[in-house]
Amino acid sequence: MKCYCGNNKTYQACCEVFHLNQGKTETAEQLMRSRYSAFVLANGDYLMQSHHVSTRPTAEKKAIVTWAKSVEWIKLEIQETIKGLLDDTEGTVIFNAYFYENGNVEVIHEKSAFIKEKNKWYYLGYAKN
């Protein structure tokens, strides 16, 4: 079975590696994909630790996990990645995350900002235009 994030690798060879190594990814897109898989698995600990401390919604962790469990995740589409490579310190990933909620197909469309500090990528939040 392909990884939840849409890569052709298995979950064990793809996002699970990052879930087990506290989000030590090489690129912002890898972190984005691993965060999507964490939503599919309702892995609140990973979602919090991969979210930059300056914008981390710690008080909302339980609500995020509850919501992630309440929907059926369909797929992730990466539309564009700007910077966010191995030698960068910031990056942007534009994506669509599709899911079923209350019998309807819904989509989260987001332009996400990422930052790398001490050689580790973190999700910052919505990117400013």
In the chain, the amino acid numbered 56 is R
CATH number reported for the structural domain that contains residue 30 in this entry? 3.10.450.50
Indicate the number of domains in the chain: 1
Are 87 and 113 contacting, i.e. CB atoms less than 8 angstroms apart?
A: no
Asked whether residue 1 is assigned to any structural domain, the reply reads no
pLDDT tens-digit series, residues 42-52: 999 999 999 99
Tell if the pTM clears 0.85, that is, is over it: yes
Could you list the residue range(s) of the whole structural domain that residue 121 is in? 15-126
In a domain, 6, yes or no: no
What would the pLDDT profile of 25-68 be if each residue is shown by its tens digit? Answer: 999 999 999 999 999 999 999 999 999 999 999 999 999 999 99
Closest by alpha carbon to 88, among 38, 9, 27, 40? Answer: 27
Residue 67 belongs to a domain? yes
